[in-house]
Amino acid sequence: MDLPTTFDIDIGTAITLGVILLLIIMSGFFSGSETALTAASKARLSQLARKGSGPAATVVALKEKSDSLIGAILIGNNIANILASALATSAMIALMGENGVAVATVVMTVLVVIFAEVLPKTYAINNPDKMALVVGPLIRALVFILTPFTWATRVIVGATLKLFGVSVAAGLGHDEREEELRGLIEMHADGGEEVEHERAMLRSILDLADVEVEEIMTHRGSVRMIDADAPIDELLAQVLESPFTRLPLYREDQDNIVGVLHVKALLRAIRAAKGMTPEAFDVMAIAAEPWFIPDTTTLLDQLQAFRERREHFAVVVDEYGSFMGVVTLEDILEEIVGDILDEHDVAVSGVRPQPDGSYVVEGSVTIRDLNREFEWDLPDEEASTIAGLVLYESRKIPEVGQEFSFHGFRFRILRRHRNQMTLLRMTPITEPGGG
């Protein structure tokens, strides 16, 4: 005698189960594709596209129309999930009666979560670029086919959100994009000293638009200048003593800059002036016109101006036209790549670490240099040098020996020349509540 069976599977039910399996696979494809195309690096794919990769170009084009991409994938994914669930419920009811609803719900939930969501998305998040290149052409066809549906969906969604006063304007502003770049730079913290140097360079590039030339210029007190009316022998002596190739020329008063002398032009003129008496030599005939720029010019604007004018040297003046200092193309490049020293440079950092953990710092050292070198976070909005910061915070001209505590440091004045602080000791405050 035959044993009774709980249920029988006919050919129609078997076909239905096969369709359900196919729909789950399709749902997994859509889920994985969404994750891969969203997580894929647009920068890397753009580089591949520039090298001639067709799939990479397809993915980049899809990412640029993210609303259509996400809409098409969601439509396809939901159709697959809903149809699979409906067929599974129908099949289970046919096989098991009313109990089939509960069984279909449990089974489909497990299958969809594991095989249509977690598994494909886990693979996609670990191989986003690779998977994006594979699924890109297929998804492009899907986006094209579902264009009318995605357009209608966007219209309905936009109208609904508008009723609640929600704007659907997409895209990031300039500030948001810059913050995104800064975040990406800070995310790559591993890799040792070489990677840290690259991170510092990238941060400096982003800072060019926020830093003014006043913060990096050579102050007038440190500028080598030459009197345009000096005898030729004295002028040559000053040029030979200077490590620079471009020197400002002044007359009577150092605020009255009348030209910029290039050493190479001077050598050519001397060679061409054989037989000429020293009194007849006119240095202004070979000097270039001085280029005056305001101290509020940003480094980015000045870098572009250097490129456009094909010049390397500018004279910085304040709002009253008074001479403040000079800035060169090399100064701006050093802000990006760090100090560039040649055989004529004198490598004086102005900072001497002490055995007790303090630092002896010259007053002219810039706050930006200290922050970059030691990864400090001293504010540079109100002052560009460490001496200027102490003046701003103390609200007075300190005496030698005075101490102040702010921004996590104790500052002690070691040396002062007239009203200028020339040497300070900075001691990090580590005790609780310090600063």
What's the CA gap between 228 and 314, in Å, rounded? 18
Mind listing the pLDDT tens digit for each residue in 210-243?
888 888 888 887 788 888 888 888 888 888 888 8
End-to-end CA distance of the chain: 93
Rounded average pLDDT over 328-338: 84
Taking residues 161-183, report their average pLDDT.
Answer: 67
Tell how strand 359-362 and strand 313-317 pair up: unpaired
H-run or E-run covering 293: strand 292-294
- CA dist 53 → 36, 47, 63, 215, 242 (Å): 18, 9, 16, 45, 55
Least confident of 106-120, 182-196, 386-400: 182-196
Task: Answer yes or no: are the C-beta atoms of 132 and 49 closer than 8 Å.
Answer: no
Q: Distance from CA of residue 177 to its chain's centroid?
A: 9
Q: What is the pLDDT of residue 8?
A: 54
d(CA 110, CA 393): 64
Share of the chain above pLDDT 70, in %: 86
- Residue whose C-alpha is closest to residue 31's, from 74, 1, 64: 74
**Res 347: pLDDT:** 42
Burial class (CB in 10 A: 0-12, 13-18, 19+), 119: middle
Q: Which of 110-119, 200-209, 266-275 has the lowest mean pLDDT?
A: 266-275
Residue 407 and residue 28: Cα distance in Å, rounded? 54
Which two three-digit tokens encode residue 38?
């969203």
SS3 of residue 187 by DSSP = helix
Read off the pLDDT of each residue in 282-286 and give the average, rounded to a whole number. Answer: 83
Of residues 432 and 268, the one with the higher pLDDT is 268
180 — pLDDT class (breaks 50, 70, 90): low
Burial class, 227, CB count within 10 angstroms (exposed 0-12 / middle 13-18 / buried 19+): middle
pLDDT at 434: 40
pLDDT attached to residue 348? 41
Give the pLDDT score at 424. Answer: 92
How far is it, in rounded angstroms, from Cα 90 to Cα 101?
A: 8
- Is residue 41 within 8 A of residue 1, CB to CB? The reply is no
Q: Is the pLDDT of residue 342 over 70?
A: no
Question: Residue range 356-371: average pLDDT?
Answer: 85
Q: What DSSP letter does each residue of 202-259 carry, written as one string?
A: HHHHHHTTT-BGGGTSEEGGG---EETTS-HHHHHHHHHH-S-SEEEEEESEEEEEEE
Section 256-260 average pLDDT: 90
Q: Assess contact for 138 and 56: CB atoms under 8 A.
A: no
Average pLDDT over residues 340-359: 67
The string of DSSP letters for 333-391 reads HHHHH-----TT-----SEEE-TTS-EEEETTSBHHHHHHHH------SS-SBHHHHHH
The structure tokens listed for 242 are 């200077």
Dihedral, CA of residue 69, residue 73, residue 75 and residue 81, to nearest 10 = -170
In the prediction, which pLDDT does 435 show?
40
pLDDT digits (tens, 9 = 90+) for 33-70: 999 998 888 888 888 888 888 889 999 888 888 888 88
The whole-number pLDDT of residue 269 equals: 82
Confidence of residue 169 (pLDDT cuts 50, 70, 90): low
Residue 243: what pLDDT?
81
pLDDT tens digits along 86-135: 999 888 888 888 888 888 889 999 999 999 899 999 999 999 999 999 99
Q: Treating both helix axes as pointing N-terminal to C-terminal, what angle do 42-50 and 128-145 enclose, rounded to 10 degrees?
A: 80
Q: Is the pLDDT at 190 greater than 50, yes or no?
A: yes
Per-residue pLDDT tens digits for 377-387: 888 878 888 88
